[in-house]
């Protein structure tokens, strides 16, 4: 800021001086003026969507300032709370997010609940543009009777539990049953299966939470069924995750051969990625294993398998109890018209089990009544990241496109939104004619409301505490599990 | 007027420098040695790599044998948006590169693990590889690697369920 004021005085002849001085005091932000204000952008949510949007903006324009607001005291969203503990390489993106957060034109404000501590309208008054990147914190429900019985969990909560999400700390799932049924066959479903069946010796070296580790050490779960509505060729998981299940120590596959009728014949028409995935499934399900593999399987103490053409219709309770005893599944057949649809046959099948995890999708929730929300698709209606009928409001990540895709998907999605914002800055669609106070006014508001934001360097202290705690246990970190412990002053 | 214009340019340049330094995300330290006489022997070892970026521009750089193509991109500070998100650990497909047939054959065998991640890359071709898995050797001197468009990988499924 010191640099700008003297510069301005040297840049104008006496005729221009008056005009420019008045522009400074009016606070013009267009490209042409060397005034003392800068475009200020606010991002709500500090997961991959938030950080990649910030990164792109900061890189593209030397005058953009970005403030990232996050509800929790800790940043990184699903990278911290969604990616499985045994997939640490996927979390390497945190390094690039950290660089962005520590950039001079980026600020992180944790422990701020947008929608509760501060409204979207207030943010829009303080910033030239507001980007909603708060993801999908809800989940799709199965919509079947018995869904609320003890022993039934959403994958979102189960994953939150093993990853130390404070709101899932009390989940304490009962793992005293032999069979667990997972509805859904995407990568999240496979993550849950893998965490339930992995040898403790492997898990104890990860950043899985200590309470989860203790629960898993006592777990009686020996059989996990991963259930999907359609057939093998429609499975939503990808090959890396399938291969991990196939190679999981001390486990053996348990599939139903009949589920794979006609699949081999369909192989030749499949594109390479789908073909390789299907081939691996076929091999695992149908091929007679060699001697070594046969021996390995016979010694395995745990089993896992896919069950296809099954949809949940009811979660069954133990008579006279409110605990789960099993799940009733409708048997489907596949109708291949425009794509492949599951169609009920009328038959059902009961599977005894003590744990049901519903992994059928996350779901975004509305944050603020002033923001348009499409409740059918559970996204904020937008065109290329520009929120419809809301000038100066943008969205990126799962909130924009729906809750599917990996980090790289979200990265591209966020870059696209950033490009829309930059276009709007250049074209004048974004009103930059007045300077905005940005975090100055929001910080004042928050202080008045008794909210104390957590800074990025506060997070770095938490980071160090967690890593230190993990050291003595041979883990990369031992996560703090409550918001209270995360707040500065507690350490 | 001339003085004002000069001063303005001076100020704008120093402002630009200030923000460039302040906004450095990754600025590798490139040592420049001004040695008099013969070139250091090390430079004979280097392998020339040509990248075609997403705008169709050709960028020629050098790397050392043993460097992966991702190492080269990072060391030479090549600005490919989102390249190498997982830092070379086979946990993404963002270092996807496309080669011509002849060069592809020279690149050596591909593991299942690489193919598993490569399968998810947008615009996958029969001569695609992941840059973090290709290590430079002298026999690859002058290679050309094209950086393809990086729209979502296949795991972003739109099967109507969301």
pLDDT band at A35 (very low <50, low <70, confident <90, very high): very low
Is A304 annotated to bind a ligand? Reply is no
User: Pairing mode, if any, of strands A310-317 and A324-337?
Assistant: antiparallel
Closest CA relative to residue A122, chosen from A451, A447, A446, A453: A446
Q: pLDDT value at position A238?
A: 94
Is A220 annotated to bind a ligand? Reply is no
Taking residues B82-97, report their average pLDDT: 95
CA-based nearest distance B137→chain A, Å:
26
* Mean pLDDT over the full length of chain B: 78
User: Alpha-carbon Rg of chain B, whole angstroms?
Assistant: 20
CA-based nearest distance A208→chain B, Å:
19
CB contact under 8 A, B19 and A62: yes
CB contact under 8 A, A406 and B8: no
On whether any CB of chain A is under 8 Å from the CB of B111, the answer is no
User: Pairing mode, if any, of strands A129-132 and A355-358?
Assistant: unpaired
User: Pairing mode, if any, of strands B58-63 and A382-383?
Assistant: unpaired
Q: Which residues of B touch A96 (CB under 8 A)?
A: 85
Least confident of A362-371, A396-405, B17-26, B135-144: B17-26
Domains in chain B: boundaries = 45-144
Rounded CA-CA distance B155/A408 in Å is 10
Is the domain defined by B45-144 classed in CATH 1.10.10.10? no
CB contact under 8 A, B120 and A402: no
Taking residues A150-165, report their average pLDDT: 98
Grouping H, G, I as helix, E, B as strand and the rest as coil, residue A424 is helix
Q: pLDDT value at position A23?
A: 45
Percent of chain A with pLDDT over 70: 92
Q: pLDDT value at position A322?
A: 82
On whether any CB of chain A is under 8 Å from the CB of B3, the answer is no
Number of inter-chain CB pairs under 8 A, A vs B: 133
Rounded CA-CA distance B70/A167 in Å is 39
Is A61 annotated to bind a ligand? Reply is no
ipTM of the complex: 0.85
Torsion, CA A197, CA A200, CA A201, CA A206, rounded to 10: 90
Q: Where are the beta strands (DSSP E) in A151-213?
A: 152-154, 179-183
Q: Which residues of A touch B70 (CB under 8 A)?
A: none
CA-based nearest distance B79→chain A, Å:
11
Q: Read off the pLDDT of residues A346-362 as tens digits, 9 standing for 90 and up.
A: 999 999 999 999 999 99
Is A78 annotated to bind a ligand? Reply is yes
Q: Which residues of A touch B22 (CB under 8 A)?
A: 104-105
Position of tokens 């991959």? A48
Q: Which residues of B touch A361 (CB under 8 A)?
A: 161-162
**Closest Cβ–Cβ partner in A92, A187, A243 for B86:** A92
DSSP state at residue A455: P
Q: Which residues of A touch B73 (CB under 8 A)?
A: none
On whether any CB of chain A is under 8 Å from the CB of B22, the answer is yes
**Closest Cβ–Cβ partner in A58, A89, A406 for B89:** A89
Helix count and strand count (H, E) for chain A? 19, 18
Q: How many CA atoms lie within 13 A of A181 on its CB side?
A: 25
- In the predicted structure, residue A291 carries a pLDDT above the cut 90: yes
Q: Read off the pLDDT of residues B123-147 as tens digits, 9 standing for 90 and up.
A: 899 999 999 999 999 999 999 999 9
**Closest Cβ–Cβ partner in B90, B155, B162 for A409:** B155
Q: pLDDT value at position A321?
A: 84
Q: Read off the pLDDT of residues A77-86 as tens digits, 9 standing for 90 and up.
A: 999 999 999 9
Contact by Cβ (8 Å): A191, A84: yes
Is A405 annotated to bind a ligand? Reply is yes
Contact by Cβ (8 Å): A149, A325: no
Rounded CA-CA distance A163/A85 in Å is 7
- In the predicted structure, residue B115 carries a pLDDT above the cut 80: yes
Q: Which residues of B touch A403 (CB under 8 A)?
A: 162
Q: pLDDT value at position A211?
A: 98
Long-range contacts of B26-35 (CB under 8 A, 24+ apart): B26/A99, B26/B74, B26/B77, B27/B77, B28/B74, B28/B75, B28/B77
Taking residues A435-455, report their average pLDDT: 97
Q: pLDDT value at position B44?
A: 73
Position of tokens 């059928």? A360
Contact by Cβ (8 Å): B115, B51: no
Taking residues A88-95, report their average pLDDT: 97
Contact by Cβ (8 Å): A440, A446: no
């Amino acid at each position: 800021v010191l640099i700008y004021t003297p510069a301005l005085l040297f840049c104008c002849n006496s005729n221009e001086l008056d005009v420019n001085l008045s522009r400074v005091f009016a606070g013009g932000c267009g490209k042409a003026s060397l005034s003392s204000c800068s475009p200020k952008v606010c991002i709500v949510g500090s997961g991959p969507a938030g950080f990649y949007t910030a990164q792109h903006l900061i890189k593209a324009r030397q005058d953009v300032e970005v403030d990232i607001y996050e509800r929790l005291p800790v940043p990184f969203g699903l990278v911290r709370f969604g990616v499985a503990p045994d997939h640490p390489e996927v979390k390497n993106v945190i390094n690039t997010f950290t660089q962005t957060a520590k950039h001079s034109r980026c600020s992180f404000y944790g422990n701020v609940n947008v929608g509760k501590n501060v409204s979207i309208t207030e943010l829009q008054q303080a910033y030239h543009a507001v980007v909603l990147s708060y993801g999908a914190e809800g989940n799709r429900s199965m919509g079947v009777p018995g869904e609320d019985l003890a022993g039934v969990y959403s994958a979102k909560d189960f994953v939150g539990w093993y990853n130390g999400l404070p709101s899932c700390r009390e989940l304490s799932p009962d793992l005293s049953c032999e069979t667990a049924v997972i509805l859904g066959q995407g990568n999240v479903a496979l993550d849950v299966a893998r965490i339930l069946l992995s040898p403790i010796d492997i898990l104890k070296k990860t950043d899985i939470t200590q309470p989860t580790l203790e629960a898993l050490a006592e777990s009686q779960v020996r059989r996990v069924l991963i259930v999907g509505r359609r057939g093998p060729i429609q499975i939503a998981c990808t090959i890396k995750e399938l291969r991990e299940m196939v190679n999981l120590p001390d486990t053996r596959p348990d599939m139903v051969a009949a589920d794979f009728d006609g699949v081999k014949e369909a192989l030749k028409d499949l594109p390479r990625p789908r073909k390789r995935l299907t081939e691996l499934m076929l091999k695992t399900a149908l091929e007679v294993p060699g001697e070594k593999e046969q021996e390995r399987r016979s010694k395995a103490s745990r089993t896992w398998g896919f069950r296809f053409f099954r949809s949940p219709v009811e979660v069954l309770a133990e008579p006279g109890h409110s605990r789960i005893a099993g799940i009733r599944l409708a048997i489907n057949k596949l109708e291949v018209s425009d794509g492949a649809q599951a169609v009920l046959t009328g038959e059902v099948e009961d599977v005894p089990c003590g744990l049901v995890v519903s992994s059928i999708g996350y779901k975004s929730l509305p944050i603020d009544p002033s923001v348009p929300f499409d409740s059918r698709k559970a996204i904020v209606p937008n065109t290329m990241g520009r929120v419809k009928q809301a000038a100066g409001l943008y969205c990126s990540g799962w909130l924009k496109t729906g809750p599917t895709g990996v980090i790289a998907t979200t990265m591209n999605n966020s870059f696209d939104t950033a490009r829309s914002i930059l276009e709007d800055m250049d074209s004048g669609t974004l009103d930059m004619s007045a300077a905005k106070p940005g975090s100055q006014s929001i910080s004042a508001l928050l202080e008045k409301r008794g909210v104390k934001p957590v800074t990025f360097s506060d997070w770095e202290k938490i980071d160090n505490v967690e890593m230190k705690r993990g050291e003595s246990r041979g883990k990369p970190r031992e996560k703090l599990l409550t918001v209270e412990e995360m707040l500065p002053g507690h350490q | 007027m001339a003085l004002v214009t000069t001063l303005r340019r001076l100020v704008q340049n120093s402002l630009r420098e200030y923000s460039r330094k302040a906004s450095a995300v990754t600025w590798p330290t490139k040592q420049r040695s001004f040695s008099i006489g013969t070139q250091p022997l090390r430079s004979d070892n280097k392998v020339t790599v040509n990248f075609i970026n997403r705008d169709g521009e050709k960028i020629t750089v050098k790397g050392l044998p043993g460097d992966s193509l991702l190492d080269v991109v990072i060391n030479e500070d090549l600005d490919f948006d989102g390249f190498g998100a997982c830092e070379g650990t086979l946990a993404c497909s963002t270092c996807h590169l496309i080669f011509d047939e002849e060069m592809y054959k020279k690149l050596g065998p591909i593991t299942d693990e690489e193919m598993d991640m490569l399968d998810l890359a947008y615009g996958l071709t029969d001569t695609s590889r992941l840059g973090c898995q290709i290590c430079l050797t002298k026999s690859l001197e002058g290679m050309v690697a094209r950086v393809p468009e990086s729209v979502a990988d296949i795991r972003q499924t739109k099967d109507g369920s969301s």
